[in-house]
Amino acid sequence: MDKEKDHLALTNSLNFIEQIVEDHNTNGRFEKRVHTRFPPEPNGYLHIGHAKSICLNFGLAQRFHGLTNLRFDDTNPETEEAEYVEAIEQDVKWLGFSWDERKFFASDYFEQMYAYASQLIRDGKAYVDDQTAEEISATRGTPTVPGKESPFRNRSVEENLALFEQMKQGKFQEGAKVLRAKIDMASPNMHMRDPVLYRIKKAAHHRTGNAWCIYPMYDFAHCISDSIERITHSICTLEFEVHRPLYDWILESLGVYQPQQIEFARLNLSYTVMSKRKLLQLVNEKLVSGWDDPRMPTISGLRRRGYTPESIRNFAHRIGVAKRDNLIDVALLEFSVREHLNQVCSRVMAVLNPIKVVITNYPEGKTEMLTTENNPEDPQAGHREIPFGREIWIEQDDFMENPPKGYFRLSPQGMVRLKSAYIIQCQEVVKDAQGQIQELKCLYFENSKSGADTSGLKVKGTIHWVSAAEAVDAEVRLYDRLFTVEEPDKQEDKDYKEFINPASLVVLPHCKIEPSLRQAKLGERFQFQRLGYFCVDKDSSPQQLVFNKTVGLKDSWAKEQKK
């Protein structure tokens, strides 16, 4: 990480957020302190959009030698769970970032927030409203029509303090009363029209249990949490730009320390939904196998799929930060992981749709060890030995009975090179009663061994293979995009779930893998030659290895860029 940081500092011009921080450092606004926070609500698992925010917040602090807090924004007891807290911590750590001892919960500040709310009441800046949620929303007006003041707006400070205290004591039913800021019902900014600060919720909270039955609204809790933690730069997504006047109003009214809120464009990815509510729906309705289904855009899903933390950080760096909403091509994410896996993965041989080849002129019972390269991209990676014998598996589509012109793989009487082994020639196609191909009988050329070929034979194609006697059985799961359209949640009159790709998961239960992978560990990543990048899934058992396909070898994104 350190090397990467230095590299960043040397080679990159400042993005607009870094420029703001730099300006603050110059004009002394925060005494050259940089202190950011990543503030997830523990109501779901983190997704790749959160990864962008994590890289931004932690990255900013690293670049300016500052600090980053992890803060759980847990002000809504109904949707939040301890399971999510643990998953979030695991994901942030896995991405390579540390909050050290600075893990906080907004719920730790409930007492202080209550005191601040009471202070606003005493200053005539907040009041208890008896109107129902419907009445409040009906009297808010529209952006062009001012709202109507509540009939309860001019209650005395004493009455408000007493009612707010009783709200806290649980004297009222949910929805009977709320605390509202007293700002301006005619403000052109709807968020300034006496926004609700507290509501009654008789629900147990994952940390405070039943201690509270009133809970602060996000806008109230968030700025106060930032202020208490002496955050300098409170970075959030664009939709909060219109909340900034309220953020500032609350802190100014309280006369407390005030961070600078800065908004940036959230990450939108093509062929993906990114809202936690929708991801939760996919999980609950069993449209995916769980939060960590390898097709999910969650960090846990990407991890299970075989993504590396480096590839996600590189992706976040590549997309940068913008002030305007945009849609990033998911192929760029795939490009980032392919680029990294290409550097670090061993090349191995695996046959996904096997067909048997019997080499009739190879001695029965003989096994020969052949040498092959682990990773041509990595000079340190070395070599390994793979067994070769009379019976091998090759890929079904590496054989064609009636090949078109220019087909360089195996066909009747045709020749092909077996990777790191010999040239073979197909002599006979053996079929069953239904006409299905059972096996291919081939000859090999003894003097055509890879690296010591004296045969003089010229063949154009090279295919991968696995020795049948030593092959390890495996299940391989192939994935495609979870949705069939670029923007599944922006299709007129249609629910995003109508666009789920029925072919997004294909299970191949009878694959044959080279024996060096017998001891492969959970999460270990490989390049299956000619097929793509794969990793060992948690569903593997001592009896059966299970692999997930991370990404193919073909670089469609780079090609698009060259066009």
267 binds ligand ATP (CB under 6 A): yes
Entry field: residues in the chain: 563
Q: How near is the Cβ of 336 to ligand ATP at its closest, in Å?
A: 16
85 binds ligand ATP (CB under 6 A): no
The alpha carbon of residue 379 and the mean position of all alpha carbons in its chain are separated, in whole angstroms, by 31
50 binds ligand ATP (CB under 6 A): yes
Q: How near is the Cβ of 213 to ligand ATP at its closest, in Å?
A: 23
* Both tokens assigned to 563: 């066009």
* Strand, helix or coil for residue 31: coil
Q: How far apart are CA 305 and CA 307, in angstroms?
A: 6
Active site residue 512: no
State which residue, 41 or 378, has the beta carbon closest to ligand ATP. Answer: 41
State which residue, 125 or 266, has the beta carbon closest to ligand ATP. Answer: 266
Active site residue 475: no
| Cβ-proximal residues to 547 (8 Å cutoff; 6+ apart), any chain | 350, 474, 475, 476, 477, 511, 513, 534, 535, 536, 537
71 binds ligand ATP (CB under 6 A): no
Q: From residue 8 to residue 47, what is the string marking binding to ligand ATP with x (rule CB under 6 A)?
A: -------------------------------xxx------
Residue type, 542: P
Active site residue 32: no
276 binds ligand ATP (CB under 6 A): yes
Kindly state the helix (H) or strand (E) to which residue 22 belongs, with its residue range. helix 16-27
Residues in the interface with ligand ATP (CB under 6 A) total 15
Q: How near is the Cβ of 236 to ligand ATP at its closest, in Å?
A: 5
State which residue, 278 or 441, has the beta carbon closest to ligand ATP. Answer: 278
Q: From residue 205 to residue 244, what is the string marking binding to ligand ATP with x (rule CB under 6 A)?
A: -------------------------------xx-------
What region does 162 belong to: left with phi over 0, alpha with psi -120 to 50, or beta? alpha
Can you tell me which of 210, 275, 343, 367 binds ligand ATP, judged by CB under 6 A? 275
* Both tokens assigned to 437: 């191909």
Q: How near is the Cβ of 233 to ligand ATP at its closest, in Å?
A: 12
132 binds ligand ATP (CB under 6 A): no
* Both tokens assigned to 319: 């997309």
Task: Give the Å distances, CA to CA, from 75 to 39, 134, 178, 204, 225.
Answer: 12, 22, 15, 11, 11
| Cβ-proximal residues to 11 (8 Å cutoff; 6+ apart), any chain | none
- Catalytic residue among 41, 149, 165, 524, which? 41
Return the closest-CA partner of residue 67 out of 76, 52, 57: 57
- Catalytic residue among 276, 303, 449, 512, which? 276
Instruction: Report H helices in 189-329.
Output: 218-228, 244-254, 276-284, 299-305, 309-319
- Catalytic residue among 140, 153, 266, 530, which? 266
417, β-bridge pairs: 423, 462
55 binds ligand ATP (CB under 6 A): no
Residue nearest to ligand ATP (CB): 49
49 binds ligand ATP (CB under 6 A): yes
* Strand, helix or coil for residue 342: helix
| Cβ-proximal residues to 198 (8 Å cutoff; 6+ apart), any chain | 117, 164, 167, 178, 179, 214, 215, 216, 217, 220
63 binds ligand ATP (CB under 6 A): no
* Active-site amino acid positions: 41, 266, 276
Q: By the criterion CB under 6 A, which residues form the site for ligand ATP?
A: 39-41, 49-50, 52-53, 73, 236-237, 266-267, 274-276
